[in-house]
Amino acid sequence: MNAFRFQTVPTIVVESGAARRLGELLREQYPARTRLCVVTDGFLAQSGLLAPALDNLAAHGWDVTLIADVIADPPEHIVLEATARAVAARAEVVLGLGGGSSMDVAKLIAVLVPGGQPLQEMYGVRKVTGTRLPLVQMPTTAGTGSEVTAVSIVTTGATTKMGVVAPQLFADLAILDAELTRGLPRAATAATGIDAMVHAIEAYTSAHLKNPVSDMLAVKALALLSRNLLPACDNGNDTAAREAMLLGAMFAGQAFANAPVAAVHALAYPIGGIFHVPHGLSNALVLPHVMRFNAPAAADLYAELADVILPGTTGSAGAKTATLIAHLDSLVLATGIPRTLREVGIGEADLPRLASDAMLQTRLLVNNPRPVTEADALAIYQAAY
């Protein structure tokens, strides 16, 4: 067996209704602290969904600074402004409460507040040098798995996305409350759920850091996600389906935090960066085409995943791979989200720019089971068009 290292968040609480006793849970975790910075987005802050959590925080003596201006694909200035507010509030604990963007910003606030290292020097793998503030994550979507990853994605400049990847970004505590995901609309449920499936698939086929623990988590994640995606889309109040999706997304997050994602994400980032297509949808648009491209190198692994999602599938590894891709295609079709780049407003003339931008994602492309050239990327976009 190849030597490997596996890291994850030390404490995980999975509890429906946990948000209603958030103050109590944080008091247990940090008995001597009081100043809490809650990082979320404007929609959640105005929705009333957070009110029970905020009430319970106050009841347990937490002095809360609410930073509610996180937007999707957060640009650098949002991160820096939020950090300045956390510094002014003398925050002692940071809580990310929302989708991937809110949790990603919370991670960066936690490492930026102690000071000493500018954000620009943190981009890349293991570039963060200092410590961080205590950090808690609480997702309101079942997709990014950001609550258990050590990655934070920032939009730099006009359209490019860069990642900070460092062990300091693992939180102390992740709290999963499926009640928080019940209000998520169908399209967002579908896109975030497919993102989580992509995390599991790419972790399982990751070129260098694939390991037995990530494999086990990816398999469990895919079983949960593939069976519960449509029930969660069809009935947003299906508690069992929502819980299964949240758990599956976390397992996938734990898997890819250690066996990193690859070309699906590398090709999805320019779609989000240039055209502001949500992350999960960007992944869904390129997924089947990247899998077809990868099949010559990854068919044996895809066949193992086909056995998980579609027990009883027969035939060669190539045949099982084709069945798996067709099944994933049919899942996406059934959710009703767009399936082509054209449907999200991308023109054929834009494809070369997407391909050249995708080549910048070297951090991800190195993990792909098959090397991707710019010509390959262009062909994949053309197939997705």
**Minimum distance of Zn ion from residue 90's CB (angstroms):** 34
Q: Which of 194/351 has CB closer to Zn ion?
A: 194
When the beta carbons of 266 and 341 are compared against Zn ion, the nearer one is 266
> What number of chain residues touch Zn ion (CB under 5 A)?
1
Q: How far is the CB of 257 from Zn ion (least distance, A)?
A: 12
CA–CA dist 12, 278 (Å, integer): 27
CB of 37 to Zn ion, least distance (A): 25
| 181-240: contacts with Zn ion (CB under 5 A) | 195
- Nearest residue to Zn ion by CB is 195
**Interface map 142-181 toward Zn ion (x if CB under 5 A):** ----------------------------------------
Residue of 331, 298, 297, 325 whose CA lies nearest to 313? 325
In terms of CB distance, is 179 or 195 closer to Zn ion? 195
The continuous run of DSSP H or E covering 321 comes out as helix 317-335
Burial of residue 311, with CB atoms counted within 10 A of its CB: 0-12 exposed, 13-18 middle, 19 or more buried: exposed
Dist CA 306 CA 302 (whole Å): 6
Which residue, 322, 269, 315, 265, is CA-closest to 292? 322
- Please tell me the distance from the alpha carbon of residue 288 to that of residue 357, in angstroms, as a whole number: 20
Least CB distance to Zn ion at residue 98 (A): 15
Could you tell me the strand order of the sheet in which 151-156 lies? 124-125, 160-165, 151-156
**Least distance in angstroms from the C-beta of 127 to Zn ion:** 21
Note whether 222 and 205 are within 8 A (CB): no
Residue number, 73 or 195, with CB nearest to Zn ion:
195
Query: 54 or 249, CB closer to Zn ion?
Result: 249
Q: Minimal distance in Å, beta carbon 276 to Zn ion?
A: 16
SS3 277: coil
Give whichever of 254 and 323 is closer to Zn ion, judged by the CB atom. Answer: 254
Residues forming contacts to Zn ion in the complex (CB under 5 A) are 195
